[in-house]
Copies of this chain bind each other. A is one copy, B any other.
Amino acid sequence: MAQHRVVIVGGGFAGLQLARDLKCPGTSITIIDRRNHHLFQPLLYQVATTVLATSEIAWPIRTLFRERKDISTLLGEVVGVDVAQRSVSLKGGHTVPYDTLVLATGARHAYFGRDEWEPFAPGLKALEDATTIRRRLLLAFEKAELEADPERRKALLTFSIIGAGPTGVEMAGIIAQLAHRILVEEFRSIDTSSSRILLIEAGPRVLPVFPPALSDYATKSLTKMGVEVCTGRPVTACSEDGVSIGDEFIPSRTVIWAAGVQASKAAEWVGAERDRAGRALVEPDLTVAGHPEVFIVGDTASVRTEDGNQVPGIAPAAKQQGKYVASVIKARRLQKPAPAPFRYRHLGNLATIGPSSAVIDFGKLRLKGSLAWWIWGLAHIYFLIGTRSRMAVALSWLWVFTTGHHSARLITQKETLKDEV
């Protein structure tokens, strides 16, 4: 019997979980990703804010599967899928044939049709995004130290974070720490504690997926840390010089985008119907209509919960879908009955705000404050891959906890914005 070839595009949470669970005689797996590493996105904002090193939250995909001889890994960028011929095309001309295809290509941050904002308000999805934000953040203080003009200095020391979901809240909290505490004693001309950190949210409250009481707690906690929380007003413009909130222009040389996301092009590749965010509408078993051999999972699929809401774009949801697809493929291979349609099980939401401050909503169990913070930290260390990263992240956090200093405050890469020194 010929090998059944499963091709997984995307080594994120969904793709990885699928590859792990799908171990089946006569089945070979190829994972294609345009990066060589799986990234633990929930902690990416900590790379952007100088707490963690890049290699602490990213692992070569092929290393993770080195013992699985049934799995090959290819570094390549998928540019299209030929569903008739059953093959995937890579940039550079390679094609990879499949019997079963799983597209798990995730999402990028999106600007609600205002793509021209991107150069001024970088978002956070890949490692390079994080080092870009880290560079801009640290350069702002460096430039302010050299700046004689008080207005320009003020604009350099104003940091705007757009979007108050978990990522926005977490970044605002750490940037406030950095500006108001950590950097204070290191500069001679500027007072970094005079920095303004704005958290801008179009909706009525921060952390909208949490119950209002926890949003209130988060707002109070952020305010105490020196973050100005601006809710209920959308951003109407972004430029090199700052942001406009409604009619008000705020000079701000560092703007970070933590708002919308846009799905990858997976739906387009296979001609699937898609929703407004570009996510593929999939069948109850996560396949594409008319193509039972093609699955779409994770942030690039539009999947509904039992009460009709969109399944959230978080790691547990992606993993559950990966696990589910593995069970479907396995059942087919072993000629067993197909599993029941995919059903998302929401485990809860957690978000950290600052030192000893976090919120947890496990439905019946709602927590805030330092206990929530410890649970948040331990949960994230637990979900990292491998002892090495757990030790490294634990060491980094322990260091911040005991000394208050961040250990990855590097400005790297070249600057591209024209006016940068």
Q: What residues make up the interface of A, taking CB atoms closer than 8 Å to B?
A: 35-37, 53-56, 58, 60, 62-63, 66-67, 69, 72-77, 90-92, 94, 127-128, 131, 138-139, 142-143, 145-146, 185-189, 388-389, 391-392, 395, 399, 403, 405, 407-414, 421
Contact = CB atoms under 8 A, between A and B. Distances in A.
Given A37-B410, A73-B186, A76-B146, 15 more contacts: A53-B53, A53-B56, A55-B408, A63-B186, A66-B186, A67-B185, A72-B188, A72-B189, A75-B139, A75-B421, A90-B146, A127-B410, A388-B407, A392-B392, A392-B395
A187 B62 contact: yes
A77 B63 CA distance: 40
A405 to B, nearest CB: 7
B91 A35 contact: no
Contacts of A411: 35-37, 75
A96 to B, nearest CB: 10
B76 A410 contact: no
15 contacts: A35-B411, A37-B410, A37-B411, A53-B54, A62-B187, A63-B409, A69-B188, A73-B186, A90-B421, A128-B412, A128-B413, A128-B414, A388-B403, A392-B407, A413-B413
A80 to B, nearest CB: 15
Given A53-B53, A75-B142, A421-B92, A186 B62 contact: yes
Nearest to A39: B410
Contacts of A146: 74-76, 90, 92, 94
A372 to B, nearest CB: 27
A403 to B, nearest CB: 8
Which 4 A-B pairs rank lowest in CB-CB distance, beginning with the nearest? A75-B142, A55-B408, A72-B188, A53-B53
Nearest to A67: B185
Nearest to A72: B188
Nearest to A62: B186
A127 B187 CA distance: 24
Nearest to A61: B186
A36 B142 contact: yes
A94 B388 CA distance: 45
A410 B72 contact: no
B36 A145 contact: no
A388 B58 CA distance: 21
Contacts of A143: 75
A62 B279 CA distance: 46
Given A138-B36, A186-B62, A55 B127 contact: no
A55, A392, A395, A405 — most chain B CB neighbours (10 Å)? A55
Contacts of A62: 186-187
